[in-house]
């Protein structure tokens, strides 16, 4: 099971209305889909399609499902005496069913006081049975409600896993909160569902969520760190298709809610502002640390030139020296100006100056690039291992987090990053 609720498993077919599965009644078949939770002892109704996987053969792809509460007497007794209800036991479970009938579970959910009719059942156990049964029923009912609203099963599970038993409170209070908290679900889908729930076009919650949606779109589309008021107003009005009288009031509220940052006429998404500030702080810290000095560095460059049958120009030599002596340096230049040649020289000289063999250089050096293609070129040029930044930081795709971080550092001593202009501010912040 993944962190997002995706499960691959086996189930036994009790009955089916799909002709191609009739031969599997009382047999097992592989299933896949998104689930909140599954229990070995429960029965379910699966809705979906039979698919043929090129490697694993026939599978049942579940698009929706229902958890079935036991209905026959034996099933209800078994359910109430299971580990879900500690301290009940088979004898007490049988007494409950004898007293309340086969519909005992529905009766308890309607009014737990019906359990007071059961002999020798204490109030503490009555409360416990009701609480467990309510929680058992709540998650499924919430997920069903979300799918009926228009969310997919996958989205419903992500929403429920985010808010748990507060899900309905969030939906009823401000459905647009989903667009702030759950990046996997698009604002457009949330807005479409919200409007079907009779949210007004000029609802304050909708306008503020639309402003953030527009800002995100413009920033990442244009590669901008901030936007002007005029840009945001025009794009938001175009999306909402209605006139909003006082955008400044919304901007002020959103800044107070820590969603944006306003600097004169420029407006930042708060997360971009924070990432920029973090990058500035770390670059400042690096650039103010004591620099290293190597003896005979220029002589070593001359030796490298002779061995490699290459002559570096003054700018290239300056870049090589400053790269090895300073804590942070930007090397820039157009195509064909020798940037790759400089990188190769830096890696070769680093090993020599620190008396490292090949394995020692590999251990202390991190050659990075934003794309796989660029990292491959970097490796071919230097004859050393190179990696994408995501791979270096051990990106977890399911959680969208990096395993290498402030609390779990990498201890490379020399980091060379190719094509930095392609890196967005969040990735650069994470790397630093």
* pLDDT value of residue 174: 96
Helix (H) or strand (E) holding 395: strand 395-396
The confidence band for 59, taking pLDDT boundaries of 50, 70 and 90, is confident
**How many alpha carbons lie under 13 Å from residue 395 in its C-beta half-sphere?**
12
CB atoms within 10 A of CB 139: 18
The confidence band for 71, taking pLDDT boundaries of 50, 70 and 90, is low
Give 75-95 pLDDT, tens digit per residue.
788 778 877 788 888 888 899
- The pair of three-digit structure tokens given for residue 263, joined into one six-digit string: 């600097």
Distant-in-sequence, close-in-space partners of 392: CB < 8 Å, separation ≥ 6: 366, 368, 404, 410, 431
Residue 93: which of 69, 111, 120 has the closest Cα?
A: 120
Lowest mean pLDDT among 66-70, 167-171, 393-397, 421-425: 66-70
Protein fold of 287-431: Rossmann fold (3.40.50)
Could you state, in order of their start, the residue ranges of all structural domains in the chain?
A: 6-68, 73-146, 172-270, 287-431
With vertex at residue 233, the alpha carbon angle to CA 231 and CA 236, rounded to the nearest 5 degrees, is 105
365-369 β-sheet, strand order: 387-388, 365-369, 414-417
- DSSP secondary structure letters along 50-74: EEEETTTEEEEEEEEEEEEPP-SHH
* C-alpha to C-alpha distance for 409 and 371, rounded to whole angstroms: 22
Helix (H) or strand (E) holding 15: none
* C-alpha to C-alpha distance for 414 and 403, rounded to whole angstroms: 20
CATH architecture label of 172-270 = Orthogonal Bundle (1.10)
Q: Average of pLDDT values for 103-126? A: 88
Q: Average of pLDDT values for 153-176? A: 89
For the chain, percent of residues with pLDDT exceeding 70:
97
Distant-in-sequence, close-in-space partners of 87: CB < 8 Å, separation ≥ 6: 125, 128
Give 309-349 pLDDT, tens digit per residue.
999 999 999 999 999 999 999 999 888 888 889 999 999 99
DSSP summary character for residue 124: H
* pLDDT value of residue 81: 80
Strand, coil or helix: what is 34?
Answer: strand
Asked whether the predicted pLDDT for residue 14 surpasses 90, the reply is no
Give 40-52 pLDDT, tens digit per residue.
667 788 888 888 8
Q: Average of pLDDT values for 176-193? A: 94
* pLDDT value of residue 259: 96
Please, is 267 exposed, middle or buried when counting C-beta atoms within 10 Å of its C-beta (0-12, 13-18, 19+)? buried
């Amino acid at each position: 099971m993944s962190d997002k609720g995706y499960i691959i498993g086996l189930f036994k077919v009790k009955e089916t209305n799909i002709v191609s599965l009739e031969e599997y009644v009382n047999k097992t078949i592989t299933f896949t889909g998104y689930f909140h939770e599954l229990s070995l002892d429960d029965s379910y109704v699966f809705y979906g399609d039979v698919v043929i996987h090129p490697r694993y053969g026939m599978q049942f792809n579940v698009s929706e499902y229902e958890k079935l509460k036991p209905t026959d007497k034996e099933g209800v007794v078994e359910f109430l005496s299971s580990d879900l209800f500690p301290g009940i036991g088979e004898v007490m479970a049988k007494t409950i069913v004898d007293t309340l009938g086969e519909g005992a579970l529905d009766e308890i959910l309607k009014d737990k006081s019906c359990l007071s009719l059961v002999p020798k059942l204490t109030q503490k156990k009555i409360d416990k049975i009701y609480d467990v049964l309510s929680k058992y029923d709540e998650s499924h009912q919430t997920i069903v409600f979300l799918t009926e609203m228009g969310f997919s099963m996958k989205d419903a599970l992500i929403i429920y896993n985010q808010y748990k038993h507060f899900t309905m409170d969030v939906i009823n209070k401000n459905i647009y909160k989903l667009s702030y908290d759950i990046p996997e679900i698009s604002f457009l889908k949330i807005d479409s569902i919200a409007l079907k729930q009779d949210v007004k076009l000029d609802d304050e919650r909708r306008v503020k969520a639309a402003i953030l949606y527009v800002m995100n779109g413009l920033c990442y589309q244009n590669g901008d760190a901030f936007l002007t008021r005029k840009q945001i107003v025009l794009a938001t009005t175009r999306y909402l298709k209605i006139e909003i009288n006082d955008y400044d009031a919304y901007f002020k509220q959103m800044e107070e809610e820590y969603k944006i940052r306003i600097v004169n006429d420029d407006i930042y998404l708060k997360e971009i502002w924070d990432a920029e500030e973090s990058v500035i702080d770390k670059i400042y810290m690096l650039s103010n640390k004591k620099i290293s000095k190597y003896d005979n560095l220029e002589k070593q460059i001359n030796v490298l030139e002779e061995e490699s049958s290459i002559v570096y120009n003054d700018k290239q030599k300056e870049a090589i020296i400053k790269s090895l002596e300073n804590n942070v340096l930007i090397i820039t230049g157009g195509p064909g100006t020798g940037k790759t040649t400089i990188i190769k020289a830096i890696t070769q000289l680093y090993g020599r100056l620190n008396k490292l063999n090949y394995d020692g250089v590999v251990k202390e050096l991190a050659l990075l690039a934003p794309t796989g293609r660029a990292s491959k070129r970097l490796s071919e040029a230097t004859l050393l291992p190179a990696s994408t930044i995501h791979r270096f930081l051990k990106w977890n795709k399911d959680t969208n987090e990096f395993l290498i971080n402030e609390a779990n550092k990498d201890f490379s001593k020399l980091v060379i990053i190719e094509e930095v202009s392609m890196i967005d501010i969040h990735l650069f912040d994470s790397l630093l």
